[in-house]
Structures are given as structure tokens and as C-alpha cells.
Chain A
Amino acid sequence: MLFLSQCINGLQLGSIYALVALGYSMVYGIIRLLNFAHGDVIMIGAYIALLTIGAGVNPALAVVLTILGCVFISVLIERVAYRPLRSAPRISLLITAIGISLLLQNLAQLLFSANTRPYPGAAIIPTKALRLGALSLSLSTIVTILVSVGAMTALHLLIQKTRIGKAMRAVSEDTGAAQLMGIDINKVISVTFAIGAALAGMGSVLFCCRYPIVNPNIGSMLGLKAFVAAVLGGIGSIPGAVVGGFAIGFAEVLVTALGFSAWTDAVVFVILIVVLLFKPAGLLGRGVAEKV
């Protein structure tokens, strides 16, 4: 029974990592950028929920505002910081992403102070335990798993079946050829950032309900772990991001269950090093052929 509840625990954490890792992988797939500001957008989302609920906004509406806020910021970052560098060397883009990440963290510090504040997680998902036989599950665990699986299924259908989804795949495989088809790549790239950010917004709410504290740095560790998940699964691969997210979630829960909770972060980065050494393309990656 302990084993089963740990598995569900891993599933909950893993689905949050998967949601965030999807944003990394989709953006990498489409413009070959490791968007290191992705985690910090999640932090901004946490402040949006904190402040709106603090101001008396209905929690459901606050969740919607969080997601919309994340979408708005991400699309804005792409438009202002990344798009002008579209034809610049990839390294300039990467450095810009790191710069945006630092900018968001420091901006949050300036606006909201560096103090850690409690997140109103209980207002969003009531703390309730549900009994399933001998198994006790918190409501937030169930909501997290259901929302994540729902969002991932919706994303899968969007990418496989819809016109914009197919265009996203086309742009990620060959941007120039996609332009020859008449695909407006600026629009497709904006939509990709928007979808990644919407998933991050959901991730923000679910993550903060699990660890209900907010400070300007909460996004960086979550972002880094989701990045490791994306690399483990194969950066650029959508199923890879999901597989990687769950693998990292389970690994963390396993390490904690074995009594080494102080080592969870270290284990995640050991996984990164091992992947980069032995299988740099990741579990489901497409190989590292350079685009010419």
C-alpha cells in the first residue's frame, strides 16, 4: 500500500514536470531555443494567483487569469526578445533567454520583494482526503493527475489533428519549406509559445498547490528540472517530454521514499549528466543531426 501511494505521488509530481517540460520541448522543436525563461514565467503565474486571490478574486477566475497571464508574458517575450534574433546565431538566442530569466526574477524581487509568501493553494483546491479502501489520496493529487492527463490529451489531439497543429509540426521539421507552403511562421511560433505557456500556467497552479510557497526563485528550480525532463525524453519530442517528466517525478519520489530526501535535486542533475554522456538525443529524441 505504501508502494502504491508512492507511485501516485510520483504520478502527481511527474505530471507537473511533464506539463512544464512540454513547453520547453515545443519551443525547442520550433525555433531550436532552450527557453530558460520558461520556469520564471511559472513564478510570475504564481504571483498572479497569489495577488488576485489576495485581492478577493474568485479562485477559479484567478486560475484563468494565471494561465492568461503566463500566455501573455510568454508571447510578449517571444515578440520582443526572441523574434528580432531569429536569424542570429543560436548562442545569442540562448544568452538572451538566460537574460530574460534573470530579468523576470529580479523584476519580481523589485515588485513583490524577495520574501517567501504562502500560496493560497487551499483556496484553489480544498485540502480534502479521499479514501479508496486503505489508500488515502488528497484531492489535489487527483486534480493534478486528471488536469495534466486531460491537457496532454488535448495537446496531442491539437498537434496531430488540427490545421495549426500540423503547421506546427511542419515548421519544426523544416521552417523554410513550411514558408513555401504559405504558412505564416511568425503566427505559428506565437501559437507555440502561447500553448507552452498555457501548460506552464496550469503547471504553476498545480505545483504551488503541492508546495504552497511563493518567492521570486521558485521558477528556476522547477524550470531546470523540467528542462532535465525534456532532455531525458529527447528535447523537441512531445511524447519525450511527457515520458521524461514522469521519469523525473518518479525518480524524485523514489529517492525521497528511500530516505535521501536531501539528495533529490542532486539525483535529477546526475540524470542530466548521464543522459548527456550516454544518450544525448534522449529516450525518444530524433538524433542530433544539425539543420542545414
Chain B
Amino acid sequence: MMLEVTNLNVFYDNIRALTDVSFSVEEGEIMTLIGANGAGKTTTLITLSGLKKAQSGTISFLGKDITKTTPQSRVAMGMSQSPEGRRVFPGLTVLENLEMGAYLRKDDISADMEKVFAYFPRLKERRKQSAGTLSGGEQQMLAMGRALMSRPKLMLLDEPSMGLSPLLVSEIFAIIRQLNEAGTTILLVEQNAAVALKLAHRAAVMETGRIVLSGTGEELSRSPAVQKAYLGG
């Protein structure tokens, strides 16, 4: 098991954001968490990355309990995140953003840089530009490329489709599939349930801070409850 989350409880002051969230991600798969705005998907991811502390529960990554470790030690262990809203560093150039993604690496990063440019050729054209001048789609590519630069074993992707045209969404999702086929395990958080379920091996549905349903991507896309609530049918 690559990632195992057990009974995670997270609060913002007195407001409960996550209630007994448990799920797991197996090596080599694409797992997706779907759900409406405010369901707790982003809170789950930032707790996994260590930006938010869990009140109780455990997170185990590659067999080690990482619940209380620092964000940087989780990156060092092989977890990286492309966060909600992309959060590229607007004043840094595309190249510098990618360098920041490789911050903890001491070895040569040029091969990985080329790999990122192969996935996202548009970033290469704009490598000297500051990230703030990129379009939304390009910023999404940069956020993903930046997360790849640490050579993650597990990549957390938060709403990669947000604000993108349908054409760009399918482009980005095709790349997520390629990344997965190249060996990166992926935990994907999405509001766009239709595309996420098509891509994912396994999925779980979150509602008001709880996991209410889980199964394979296919099972969930056939579930009447999911169809009614998230697939517009």
C-alpha cells in the first residue's frame, strides 16, 4: 500500500472539516476523490502534504507513519502536490518555478527538466517568462511540471481541470494518464466527476467532510446516486 489514511479528523478552529476519513491508494493506480465544493477534498490533500495538522487519525506513506512529520520531509519521501488554484510563483520564471519543484534534490535535474518540457512543450517556449504572465492552462501545466520535478512516487493533483476549456481538460487528463503509465501513482481530486471517474482506477465520493461511497471508477460512474448528484443524469 502506497498511502493509507485512517480515521482522519481535521478542524478549522471549531469547524469540523473532515470526519473519520479513511481511504487508501495502491501503488501504480489513479485514485480519485470527487465531491462538491466544500466537501473536504482540498483539506484532505493539504493535510496529506502536512500544511494542515490532523486532530486525530493517521496517515501512513510507504509503510511509515507520517502524520506528524514536516511538509518537507514528506516531499523528500516522494510525495508532491499540484495544489488547488495552481499556486505557481508568479514573480519567478517558468524555469525558476521548476527549480523550486526540485528544491530538495541535490543531483542533476536537467533530464527531468527535459522530461517536463516533453510533456508540456509550451512551457519550454515560455521558460524565461515569469509565471504570472502565463495563461490559466499554462499555469496548470507549470504546477504539474513543478510537482514532477521532485520525482514523486505519489502525486497529489487538486482540481487540475479548474477554469480550463474542455479541450485543455482532455489534454491535461491525457497527460495524467501518461504520467501514471510511466509509473507515478496519482491521487486526483476533482469536481469534474465525469472526466475523473473515466480516468481513475478507483474512486471515492466525499460529502461534508466524510467519505460516503467508494469503489472502482466504473462502479461509481454507474451508481445511480453518483449519476444523479455528480454526473447530471
Contacts and interface: CB of A to CB of B under 8 A. Distances in A.
Q: Do chains A and B stick together as partners? A: yes
B176 to A, nearest CB: 18
Given A176-B51, A176-B83, A177-B83, A183 B89 contact: no
B72 A166 contact: no
B90 A182 contact: no
14 contacts: A169-B91, A173-B92, A176-B83, A177-B83, A179-B51, A180-B71, A180-B80, A180-B83, A180-B147, A181-B146, A182-B72, A182-B75, A182-B76, A182-B103
B104 A182 contact: yes
A191 interface: no
A131 interface: no
Given A166-B92, A182-B150, A174 B87 contact: yes
Interface in B141-199: 146-147, 150
B49 interface: yes
Interface of A: 163, 166-167, 169-170, 173-174, 176-184
A182 B151 CA distance: 12
B101 interface: yes
Interface core residue of A166, A176, A177, A182 (most chain B CB under 10 Å): A182
B87 A181 contact: no
Nearest to A286: B91
Contacts of B71: 179-180, 182
B89 A170 contact: yes
A81 B104 CA distance: 29
B50 interface: yes
Interface of B: 46, 49-51, 70-72, 75-76, 80-81, 83, 87-92, 96, 99-101, 103-104, 146-147, 150
B100 A170 contact: yes
Contacts of A169: 89, 91-92, 96
Contacts of B80: 180
A180 B89 contact: no
A183 B149 CA distance: 14
Contacts of B146: 181
A181 B92 contact: no
B89 to A, nearest CB: 5
Given A181-B146, A183-B103, 16 more contacts: A163-B99, A166-B96, A169-B96, A170-B92, A174-B89, A176-B51, A177-B83, A177-B89, A179-B71, A180-B81, A180-B87, A181-B100, A181-B104, A182-B75, A182-B76, A182-B104
B85 to A, nearest CB: 9
Contact of B72 (A163, A173, A174, A183): A183
Nearest to B105: A182
A173 B76 contact: no
Contacts of A184: 70, 72
A163 B96 CA distance: 10
A290 to B, nearest CB: 15
A183 B50 CA distance: 12
Contacts of B91: 169, 173
B90 A166 contact: no
Nearest to A167: B103
4 smallest beta-carbon distances between A and B, as pairs: A182-B75, A177-B87, A182-B104, A179-B71
B55 to A, nearest CB: 16
Nearest to B93: A166
Contacts of A174: 87, 89
B188 to A, nearest CB: 16
Nearest to B77: A182
Nearest to B132: A173
Contacts of A181: 75, 100-101, 103-104, 146, 150
B142 to A, nearest CB: 12
Nearest to A160: B96
Interface core residue of B46, B90, B100 (most chain A CB under 10 Å): B100
A165 B51 CA distance: 22
A163 B102 CA distance: 10
Nearest to B88: A177
Contacts of A173: 89-92
Interface core residue of B89, B90, B91, B150 (most chain A CB under 10 Å): B89
A170 B72 CA distance: 14
A179 B50 CA distance: 9
A288 to B, nearest CB: 16
B92 A179 contact: no
